[in-house]
Structure 1
């Protein structure tokens, strides 16, 4: 008999979940019945098909079989080898370097199990630290129908969960219990279910966790994908209406003398897209609700001057503007570019605020910002600190806005008088993704490059062409040009990557280019040292700059016309395109050379080929989305991507479009909607906190 509990009740109401087990589940983000039921299987094993799998090196496999033997290999690194036989009698060695004694007790000969992992080849097929789940044999008591079906769902788990019995079998048991005990209330409007041909919620939960067939599972998945998209689109609509419910306090002037003066003195003409972007954003700024716009521009399209022209309409009306960038190098570059643009104009009060400044200098700057003497304040995350108070902040410009979290964007907003927000990105985001992620923002695009810019000649070379690449660099340096040589730097192997970049600098400066000045730049250097290196490079005192991806965004040295990317197969398309944008910033012919080893993966080949074929960032972003997904496209964990549990922004795009339209049509604005949004999304908790 079902209890009076509901889907948002804590897990402790279920039999067998005491405080200790609840704590472990909580540490893994599972606090309520809803969290448990939306812990969806990460994959399914169809017993009928496991015999047909052909073993292939490098592939992720899920296989059914049994243990034939196990033994410990002693040496520098002791390891346990477990012999696994597939249903086709093929042997795979399961290799365990950690927990050797624990696994030795667990893996008994002849036990049947499912294994998952990446198939490698070393004296035969092997999988290192596979995921596994033991199956009950016939005759054992634990052969309930939920474990013995044709389709076996496999759940994400880890050691702490497994210690409390939450492997795939444990999850199935608990989920089965929840579905028997807890009433499942429908959360989508009935006419919507009918219109979109979606199965009811309670049936969908049963079919996604205990499917009788793959067809049942697919229908259940469609229902939950749509549900996630629908409530996310409702969140976007609520955010927009909440923002628009608070009226504008500060008004930029429609006609700015400073902007007109700057335009008359620019040494170049604005592109049609830049002119339209300024008009479109200024038009939005004349409404009585604050604007929130996303200015997208491909690398080198001139977003900074566009943002500055808009900012001057605020500054001329005594309204402060904050300009926030993700790195000190970029913040300083914006400061220098803006100073250069405004050079001959009366002092407007431009302030650069960075971390680690002298106390007295910082204190003076804070005082000028507080009194309103500083009209345009440029900085990094340092602008978020509590002691920074503005007098009349009316416009916040956030460059590379996806590198700031939701809470950080909210913090800078809260320092103003319901300010306008102009978010900028040089990572073109495909339209569909834009509409879903930033549906509460007005989208403005700059697609054309400034006049006279030539396409960057991009080539992919392997090691056998290296000597020729170095000869070309020497030739262009003799002609007065400069060159970047970029090395990858990723979190997981940061220490090793930094070492290889530093060693490469030493080798290149001593052995390959002894007649040139070769500089080194990376993110671990002190701010003052980074500034000194960048300034030397800008002044052409350094001809070659060996660097990490710290130069990925915004660095502007027009005389640098060659970019060499080492280990280019380790980068995504969007990141390579960003790096490529460091050259081609003048009317000079520019080159981007992508260097790799002889053998690269099929995915890497696809990425590198795409780069050599086009300079169009929008086309490349579609390709990157297709290959690697939205998280990689936007590049960071903090990107504000929604916490979808089952929906895939690439493969489920058609459902995303439907959910956008339906959220406008079917929204009731009731408590059920708000509780669903709060339970699903962190932004929802924030939005409906009161």
Structure 2
């Protein structure tokens, strides 16, 4: 049997089981073997019935003392079996499995494992796993037992049996692909040993050794795949070697502020990239308000003064318009023509701007998803920038790049990600970090209160409004539907009108047309609107220097990174700013989050904690990044293994850039398989 064979070739996989396995994304023998346990149960200790511990899982060896009975309990059938050993007796009970009555023979000996309780004056073992006692051949009891992620009506017993069958049938197929030098240097177990012991560990030690090997393998292969793509791109794709621009110093001197050291460092990295004929593929991450937009403007300036066009794509019309309006006056002083392409333009406006882009009459286009439509054609696209890149799928970014002939690519994000993890997430990119805020950025005082303080909070907001300031109020997040989200915003706005009589209150939500959103944001920016009640549509990039209060209702419903993004909407001007989190939740996770928000304004610290609390899957939403889900590695807990895997990866590629040596042949096949099946769409 080959690892690539369909899973139905394994003994025991019928039509119904196959459907259930497919729901778990198990289609091949290899998928099944890489369906790792989520936890384990220690059934290695066999107890006498007289020694059992109540409300715990116990393993016993017992004979069938009486013929099984099926008893009707309401609509369900209870199957009851009397079990005995030389120290006592108890009853094993199962609900809804009447066929079990025929499974047991009087006086035959079985191993049983299950939770034991005392109910109705009887000792009961609830829904135990069981198997006939066969000397030295019991696989599901008298040992450490795996518990797997499952789906409706696919029992642990069935999954265990299928994996056991697969292991038996593929023993000689698990061919070691990690070269000996890596296994020796990093003390990694053999492939066969690791796969067997992750499913059916011989001991605690065997499990840890197996897991270490498989975590290393997963992270190593993923990075090797990403770095191979990057290397290939560097070899195959020649970009533009932009010449140094004498006007650039004038442009930077003319900015209304001085660049911070961190901004200058990132500008130097970008200039170096752009002057090379390799395609720039750089990620710039910087905290909320660290000044990423001006760095984008400098890169665009270099491209345009080299006679190429530039494009900057943002996830929302509000943000795209803001970039356009903010940078247009600065750029136009240097005869750079800018344009804005969004979904809300009229047909005539759209046709006009598309014609100007195609003929090269517009040097820099700002816009939204509208930029990736088929009818958008550039005369000579040299630089592509995507802002808040986590809002775009990999394919969308690729489509935009394909509108030019290998343009340079700059990606920006305000979601700080710990550097080591960023290397995994963006292994195909070079990374720049702006780790310093511009002078004058206010520290935002953050408070967490329960709803009994709401009236006092409203009084505080009034005080700020009387001083001429403005406030955001973020509505409770509603997951059910857009319709409910809309109702939530409307009813909240109505509810607070009497509290804030004499002040203009408006609202924003996801179902509004872009033009409506734009009008509201302009009203808020111009100070005509005093309080803006909104959903998280204002999370990204909105810049209103006069807004000093961010009130977030039901703060427990938001992740830390999102709370930090929302808080970043205030503190953007010269006035003292505040973020108030209202929550009645007393859960440990909520308390932890609120504590972190009060303690620090540092996005990198916050992202570390967010990752720790929520785990990597939720934190990254790996699917939208095009990354395969990690099967066994945990990017937070396994950071030390990740560092070793990165070290090994760089060493392997330095030694053998294309993995052509004999000792790397099987490794190369494995990496190619990963690229083709899982990460081929990842790279820009």
Q: Provide TM-score, normalisation by structure 2.
A: 0.84
Answering whether residue 48 of structure 2 is matched by residue 43 of structure 1, we say no
Partner of 1:601: 587
Task: Give per-residue Cα distances to partners, 1:214-265, cap 9 Å, x unaligned.
Answer: 32222211111010011011112101111101343433331152x4444333
Answering whether residue 557 of structure 2 is matched by residue 570 of structure 1, we say yes
Answering whether residue 385 of structure 2 is matched by residue 429 of structure 1, we say no
**Distance of aligned partners of 1:238 and 1:70 in 2 relative to their CA distance in 1, 3 Å threshold:** farther
Q: Between Structure 1 and Structure 2, whose CA radius of gyration is higher?
A: 2
**Cα distance, 1:314 vs. partner?**
0.3
**Distance of aligned partners of 1:544 and 1:136 in 2 relative to their CA distance in 1, 3 Å threshold:** closer
d(CA) in 2 for partners of 1:465, 1:591:
15
d(CA) in 1 for partners of 2:259, 2:517:
31
Answering whether residue 309 of structure 2 is matched by residue 320 of structure 1, we say yes
**Cα distance, 1:12 vs. partner?**
3.6
Which region of structure 1 is more displaced relative to structure 2, 358-367 or 36-45? Answer: 358-367
Aligned counterpart for 1:284 among listed residues 269, 273, 284: 273
Aligned length: 632
Answering whether residue 503 of structure 2 is matched by residue 516 of structure 1, we say yes
Task: Give per-residue Cα distances to partners, 1:561-600, cap 9 Å, x unaligned.
Answer: 1100111122121111111100000121111111111x42
d(CA) in 2 for partners of 1:368, 1:53:
79
Partner of 1:127: none
What aligned pairs does 1:344-359 form with structure 2 within 5 A after superposition? 344-346=333-335, 348-359=336-347
Q: What are structure 2's unaligned runs of at least 5 residues? A: 61-68, 81-92, 105-111, 116-124
Partner of 1:270: 259
**Cα distance, 1:410 vs. partner?**
2.1
Task: Give per-residue Cα distances to partners, 1:70-94, cap 9 Å, x unaligned.
Answer: 9669xxxxx99999xxxxxxxxxx9
Task: Give per-residue Cα distances to partners, 1:495-534, cap 9 Å, x unaligned.
Answer: 544432321111012x211221111101111111111111
Q: Provide TM-score, normalisation by structure 1.
A: 0.84
What aligned pairs does 1:361-376 form with structure 2 within 5 A after superposition? 361-376=349-364
Alignment root-mean-square deviation, CA = 3.5
Q: What are structure 1's unaligned runs of at least 5 residues? A: 56-61, 74-78, 84-93, 95-101, 116-131
Partner of 1:228: 218
d(CA) in 2 for partners of 1:299, 1:27:
40
**Cα distance, 1:146 vs. partner?**
2.1
Whether the aligned pair in 2 keeps the contact of 1:133 and 1:167 (CA below 8 Å) is: no
Partner of 1:676: 670
Q: 3-state SS of the aligned residue for 1:558?
A: coil
d(CA) in 2 for partners of 1:18, 1:638:
33
Whether the aligned pair in 2 keeps the contact of 1:294 and 1:443 (CA below 8 Å) is: yes
Whether the aligned pair in 1 keeps the contact of 2:32 and 2:163 (CA below 8 Å) is: yes
d(CA) in 2 for partners of 1:448, 1:275:
11
**Distance of aligned partners of 1:219 and 1:498 in 2 relative to their CA distance in 1, 3 Å threshold:** farther
**Distance of aligned partners of 1:490 and 1:395 in 2 relative to their CA distance in 1, 3 Å threshold:** farther
What aligned pairs does 1:34-183 form with structure 2 within 5 A after superposition? 34-47=30-43, 104=96, 134-137=127-130, 145-159=138-152, 162=153, 166-182=154-170, 183=173
d(CA) in 2 for partners of 1:383, 1:503:
36
Answering whether residue 492 of structure 2 is matched by residue 504 of structure 1, we say yes
Q: 3-state SS of the aligned residue for 2:543?
A: coil
Whether the aligned pair in 1 keeps the contact of 2:241 and 2:276 (CA below 8 Å) is: no
Partner of 1:87: none
**Distance of aligned partners of 1:308 and 1:63 in 2 relative to their CA distance in 1, 3 Å threshold:** farther
d(CA) in 2 for partners of 1:672, 1:20:
35
Answering whether residue 604 of structure 2 is matched by residue 611 of structure 1, we say no
Partner of 2:188: 198
Whether the aligned pair in 2 keeps the contact of 1:252 and 1:319 (CA below 8 Å) is: no
d(CA) in 1 for partners of 2:309, 2:272:
19
Partner of 1:631: 617
**Cα distance, 1:104 vs. partner?**
4.7
Q: 3-state SS of the aligned residue for 1:342?
A: helix
Which region of structure 1 is more displaced relative to structure 2, 178-187 or 306-315? Answer: 178-187
**Cα distance, 1:331 vs. partner?**
1.6
**Distance of aligned partners of 1:357 and 1:181 in 2 relative to their CA distance in 1, 3 Å threshold:** same
